[in-house]
Amino acid sequence: MTVWITGASSGLGLYAARALRDAGHQVIAGARSFSAGQAEGIDRLPLDVTSEESIDAFCRAALVISPGVDALVQCAGVLVLGSCEETSLEEYRRVMDTNFFGMVRMNQHVLPLMRKAGGGKIVLFSSINGLLGVPFQSAYTAAKHAMEGYAECLAMECRSFGIQVCLVEPGDHRGGSRVYRTHAAAMGEQSPYRDGFLSATSRIDRDEQGGSDPVRLGRKVARVLKRRRIPFRLRVASPDQHLAVFLHDGPPCLHFKVLRDYYLGGRGKD
């Protein structure tokens, strides 16, 4: 199988690319920091999912390497941490442009190829944040929720063309780079949300550093792609995070209390 993968220079995208290579697939990986060439048995091409021209050039170059795409795995993502009040619209746009519109742009280039070929598999890296909100991650959470709704539409529309869709919903995993976890510019000393922000971001850092094994997640993605029928959802999270998703579907007062206590410490109390 020929698999294209975005956001493959770091974190879960990199681990998934390696696992897909190990599973015997031809992997064509894209990221902004890549220049064209081969490394670790993976073909690399420059790709910026926020640019139509860059996606176009990536697709043309990938089709020269291998004349088709059987699967597309989309991992490109960035995070801006900040309060809803102080995260600027420009910061919201930056997150949406990569995590949501970038994913849509990429699909719009690949869907015609898959349709003409009679099928394909599209794997979208969402998150547990695609299912529930977490304090100070509103931009990221909004983008992942948008992806979740979009993916349901995509799966239904494309089924008759033999195109299958899978949402990967990871909880915290190790290996992601801090470069892609920026703080909103307004979250300095003067922010009225400062104490809660520091509490939540240190909790988020700790959870990622002690998170699940990215190698195992990469292998799970590779195993799923081998199946004739792929599941619509692949949730890979700790028992706590599964519980948080379960509580989310219950009464909101309970869910909010648990998450506020967890992320905001004493500030979570009414």
Ligand X SMILES: NC(=O)c1ccc[n+]([C@@H]2O[C@H](COP(=O)([O-])OP(=O)(O)OC[C@H]3O[C@@H](n4cnc5c(N)ncnc54)[C@H](OP(=O)(O)O)[C@@H]3O)[C@@H](O)[C@H]2O)c1
* Min CB(161)–ligand X separation in Å: 25
Binders of ligand X among 149-208, rule CB under 6 A? 170, 172-173, 175-177, 180, 208
CA distance 257 to 80: 24
Burial tier of 118 (Cβ tally within 10 Å: 0-12, 13-18, 19+): exposed
Residue with smallest beta-carbon separation from ligand X: 11
Scanning 23-137, the segments in alpha helix (DSSP H) are 52-65, 89-96, 102-117
Which positions from 203 to 222 touch ligand X by CB under 6 A, shown as an x/- string?
-----x--x-----------
Q: Report if residue 31 touches ligand X, rule: CB under 6 A.
A: yes
Dihedral, 256, 259, 261, 267 alpha carbons, nearest 10: -70
Near ligand X in 41-80, by CB under 6 A: 47-50, 75-78
Residues with catalytic roles: 9, 126, 140, 144
Closer of 133 and 176 to ligand X (Cβ) = 176
Distance CA 86, CA 153 (A): 32
Residue 32 is a binding residue for ligand X (CB under 6 A): yes
Binding site for ligand X (CB under 6 A): 6-13, 31-33, 47-50, 75-78, 98, 102, 125, 127, 170, 172-173, 175-177, 180, 208, 211
